[in-house]
Every structure is written in structure tokens, then in C-alpha cells.
Structure 1
Amino acid sequence: MEEKSVKARIVSAAWKMFYDKGYDRTTVDDIIELSGTSKGSFYYYFSTKDELLSTLSTVFDDYYEELNAQMDQEMNSYDKLLYLNYKLHAMIEEKINIDLLASLYSTQLVAKGQRNLLDQNRLYYRLIARIVEEGQKKREIRNDKSIGEIVKYYALCERALVSEWCLNKGNYSLKEYSKEYMPIMMEHFAVDQN
């Protein structure tokens, strides 16, 4: 358990430094100092600073775990999906450097190996699937599409909003744009509660 917390502290510190100082100006020593760890701990988990770039999905999943714990469990399942989307996009806008995010998204397009953001075993996909399944059982989300199809569409909409924001160099608020457009993109799956 302690080992995971050391790694998590390194990852969290790294992404804070990347946002505050920029990726190129952040040093391994900066990350070690902010995380309160040691060089030995850093190099136990990561060979280079570059390896930290593949941890963005971990940062997102850790945040989803926090959001899930904070979320009103009595909320309508469809509203839970919109809540998670808004909160994640607010975090991205406030804490992830847009140039680094755009670069990471582009590397995922050409990556030959594993694409961490698309890993179906991530907490993200499991959480969204659980909410969709719950929503279908409660008749809050349509059940004429499979859970997998709805999760895939939801993820596609989230990525589309982030990609568009990156293409526009962040010249508008991602969270407010998502608040306006994610409901429109997802409304097909909501069951009218009237």
C-alpha cells in the first residue's frame, strides 16, 4: 500500500509541475522535491521524466475515484454522467497544460503499442459502465443500446470535446463548453422522466 502512495505522489507532483512550469522546464529534482520522495523512489518507478507522460490516464482515474466518492449517489444516472464529464473537464482546464495535453492526444493517435487512454480496464470505463447499467435498471437511461455501446459513445463525446478545445488552443472554457454540449450529445440516451 505504501508503495502505491509513493508512486501516486510522484505522478501527482509531476503533473502539477508540468502545469506550473511546463514540461520542458520541470526537472526530476523538482518532482522529487514536491512529492517529498527520493531519487531512488523516482527511479524505482520511472526510468525517465518522459515515462510520466503515459500516466495521464492514471491522473484521470484517480480523479474519477474522488468524484465517485463525492457524488450524490441518489442523483439520476444520466445526471451522474454529465456531472463526471463537467468535473473532469473543469480539472483538465485548471490543472493540465493544454499544449502537453494536445501533444499527448496526438501521440495516442500514432502510438504503436498500448493506448493508455483507451484501456477498457481503466477505472474510468468501469465506472461509466456501472452508471449506465444502473441507469438502465432504473429506466433513467435507454436500454435499446448495450452498455458497451453507450460507454463507447460517451467516451467518444468526451474526447471530441477535449480535442476540439485543444485544436482551438483553449480560447474558451472547456468546462462551460462541455456543460452546454455534452447534454446535447448524450440526450438520445436519456429516458424522459416526465
Structure 2
Amino acid sequence: MARSTPRQIKSQQTKKKILEVALDLFSKKGFNQVSVDEIVSVSNTSKGAFYVHFKSKYEIFIEKFKEIDDFYASFTKSIPKDLSCSEKILLLTKSQMVFLRDDLGKDLMRTVYVSALIPNQPKSLSDTDRTLYRIVHSFVQEGQDAGEFRKEIPSEEITMLITRCMRGTLYDWLIFGGDFDLVEEIQKFIRTILVENISTK
């Protein structure tokens, strides 16, 4: 494997600096209140450097979502294969909420939700081609093939219900006070969805 050149290393460092500064500014001031000019000023970079790495402010979020999806993909590999599909989904959603709560935090997630409402921007939260959606869908299909879930309900519909619960629980976490237990709430919602879709054979 070829080693990175000093120029490549510097370029990656610049990209990381822009990303970190932009996310910090978004969380403090709100997405719409931060300009590219401010990002490059605070990060002590240039507009040229910014546009080498990102086409727009919104691409900062796309980059962050890659990190989130990498977490989902890595965590899924650690789930024991002998668990039922219901248990796999519950374990995934529990770990998802712990990661979003502890590693990303409310400020960033609030900004992600607000930015998702901006017209003409990619809708990462609702993208059915995202890693998270595909993982949940694979568990649902596996459960249907094994007779664990009802087959008369399309796998896409069950998957959408589960991922909608994820988004809704995160939204409630953002608007309610500190007493809202993100992990406990997602488990309650997902269990309800799964019970409704368990096969009675």
C-alpha cells in the first residue's frame, strides 16, 4: 500500500479541520446562521480549500453521516448470528441511540434535523439507500424467511416503520427535557413494532 505524500497528509488535515470547525459552528449558531466565509475564517483555511473538499455546507453533514453509517456497519458485524432477528434489531437500535447520544450529542443531532428541512438538499435522514436502512431491511427479510415475522406485510413497510420510530424517538429526545431516556424509549417503541409484526404461524 502506497504511503501518503506530505501534500496528501496536509490536504486530509485541512479537510478534518474544516469539518470540525463547521460542525462546531453549526451546533453553536445554527446551520443557516453560518456561512462558508465564516467557516474558512475560523478554520484559518481558504474558500478554495473548502471547495476542494466540500461542494456546499450541506456536504459537511454528508461527511458526518458516513461516520455514522460506518458505525452501523461495524457494529452489525459484532452482533451474534444466533440471536433472533427481533433481538438483533433491538440490539442495533439500543447501540445506535447510545452512539448518537454519547458520541454525537444533542447539538449536532438538532442541527442534522434542522438541516434536513432545507429545500433542494439531499435527505440523508430518510434515504432508503443508507447503510442503516439496508441493515434493518436485511434483518427484517431474514426474520420473514425464518418465519419470525409476518410475510403478508412487505419487508419494506416493516423496515420503514422501524426506521421511522428511530427518527421519531430522536426528534422527541431533542424537543423534550433531560428526563427523556433515549435508550429506554427506543426499546419500548421497537418492541411494540416488532410484536405487531411477529408471525403467529
Report what 2:94 is aligned to: 86
Classify the secondary structure of the residue corresponding to 2:141. helix
How far apart, in 2, do the equivalents of 1:71 and 1:188 lie? 23
Shift of 1:15: 6.4
Percent pairwise identity: 21
CA deviation string 1:116-154 (max 9, x = no partner): 122222111221111111110101111110011111111
Residue 188 (structure 1) aligned with residue 196 (structure 2): yes
Matched, 1:166 2:174: yes
**Range 92-101 or range 152-161, more displaced:** 92-101
Instruction: Report the CA distance shift for 1:111/1:97 in structure 2 as closer, same or farther (over 3 A).
Output: farther
**1:57 corresponding residue in structure 2:** 65
Report the CA distance between 1:49 and its aligned residue: 6.3
Aligned residues: 183
User: What residue ranges of structure 1 are gaps of 5+ in the alignment?
Assistant: 32-39
Residues 26 and 111, structure 2, Cα contact 8 Å, conserved in 1: no
Over 3 Å counting, the alpha-carbon distance change for 1:46 and 1:96 in structure 2 is: same
Aligned to 2:184: 176
Within-5 A mapping of 1:71-150: 71-150=79-158
What CA RMSD, in Å, does the superposition of the two structures yield over aligned residues? 3.8
What's the CA shift for 1:93?
0.8
Distance 1:47 1:113 in 2: 12
Q: For the residues of structure 2 that align with 1:93 and 1:124, how far apart are their CA atoms?
A: 17
Whole-angstrom distance in 2 between the partners of 1:68 and 1:15: 27
Structure possessing the higher relative contact order (Cα contacts under 8 Å, 6 or more residues apart): 1
Distance in 2 separating the partners of 1:70 and 1:41: 38
Structure 2 Cα separation of the partners of residues 124 and 41 of structure 1: 31
Relative to the length of structure 1, the TM-score reads 0.74
- Residue 34 of structure 1: aligned partner: none
TM-score, normalised to structure 2, is 0.72
Instruction: List runs of 5+ in structure 2 lacking aligned partners.
Output: 5-10, 30-38
Q: CA–CA distance in 2 between the matches of 1:167 and 1:90?
A: 18
